[in-house]
Amino acid sequence: MISTANINSKTIFGKTNVANLKQYVREMNADALVFGVDILSPYQHHYYRECLNIEVYDRFSIVLKIFRERASTKETKLQLSLAEIQYVRKNLHKMKECDFSQFTIASSFGGGFDTFYQIKKKLIQEQESKLNTLLEKVELNNQLNKHHRLRMQIPSVAIIGYTNCGKTSLIKSLTHDSKLKPEDKLFATLNVSTHQVNLPSNLKVLLIDTIGFITEIPTALIHSFRSTLSEISSADMLVHVTDCSHPDYKQQIETVHKTLRDLEVPEKLISTMLEVHNKVDKLGPDIKLENEDCLLISATERIGLDELKQSIEKGVINNTDRLTFDIRVPNGGEQYQWLYREVSVVECNADERDGNYIVMKVIITKSQLGKFMKHFRRSLRAS
């Protein structure tokens, strides 16, 4: 590793360090060089490609490369293209310093002239506008699906965490969804997906699989994946999954928390977030975790999942202001059927005073309770 005092200088390093770097690349027979900075300037990128005769990457281009290999849906491909536009724009901005950007080209038969930089900027703006229009259509469909969920009053839980922490494996274990195919690699999940699970009280919730975070990921890249951010911010609860077997898990936790703050996720969601340490089966017998408030689980070995479901249920009920109480209704009647169809029924017990009635313990929202009372007002008075 070679440090520098000025990342904005033309060659980043002095002559001695450049020579040492060139020697190191030759000895290692390297095929590529990655700089630990967000974005290299066009000059820096060109200089080191010519100097070292190998591929040169910055953090942004590495993440883009990984994303490009993982993108599979129309939405993620559009989001990726938009992120690439952000990358090109940042490099284009630095082209003002280059001499060739001052050359002018006739922009119309009227005699007007634009610089090379201005023409490229216009083309980028046009392409970005087209991508935003296409993405808005996809996101409109997502919003319709989200509104449907809201009408059905099914609470949502966003599963978040550092990339490759085991989010998809956890969702598969909780839902028993055989279609999910967890992969042991960075950014295996790029598109948002929802999966229904029944909690201990029979409360139905949707688990949202989200894109993983990474240390110092360029903010512009994260903001291009707007649907993921929207799902996180509009969820009823967050579950933060950590790979506690990773040597840098503490730093990864800090990265996730910082990213949530940077993205202005509502404070209520952050303060009520459930912290979960995954992959405890990979810990050695002498390893002790410092944070005792975290739930310890193993998604693949199904360790601690019952306790996790209970904790999710408690958090969802608190965050959504749901009510839990008993309702006495005729056994098998219209009220009984309505409750089973519309709300979460925890248990049913025969009424000790009258065998024709049953006491149903339910979890119900205030709006659902209002509908029930309005629809069955007369029969409730009669009973």
Task: Write out the binding residues.
Answer: 161-168, 189, 209-212, 278-281, 298-300
Q: How far apart are the first and last CA of the chain?
A: 78
Name 115's bridge partners.
Answer: 104
Name 298's bridge partners.
Answer: 303
DSSP letters spanning 33-57: EE-SSS---HHHHHHHHHHH-SEEE
Residue 53, CA distances (Å) to 12, 41, 366 in order: 17, 17, 67
DSSP class of residue 290 equals S
In angstroms, how far is CA 34 from the centroid of its own chain?
A: 25
Using CB atoms within 10 A of its CB, is residue 1 exposed (0-12), middle (13-18) or buried (19+)? exposed
Residue 94, CA distances (Å) to 8, 89, 121, 328 in order: 11, 9, 12, 71
Name 326's bridge partners.
Answer: 361
Closest C-alpha to 289, from 253, 255, 250, 325 = 250
Instruction: Please name the residue ranges forming H helices in the chain.
Output: 15-28, 42-52, 59-70, 74-93, 116-152, 167-175, 219-224, 226-234, 249-262, 267-271, 305-319, 334-342, 366-375, 377-382
C-alpha dihedral over 82, 86, 89, 93, to 10 degrees?
Answer: 170
Q: Would you list which residues are annotated within the binding site for Mg(2+)?
A: 168, 189
Q: Would you list which residues are annotated within the binding site for GTP?
A: 161-168, 209-212, 278-281, 298-300
Check if the beta carbon of residue 244 is closer than 8 Å to that of residue 284. no
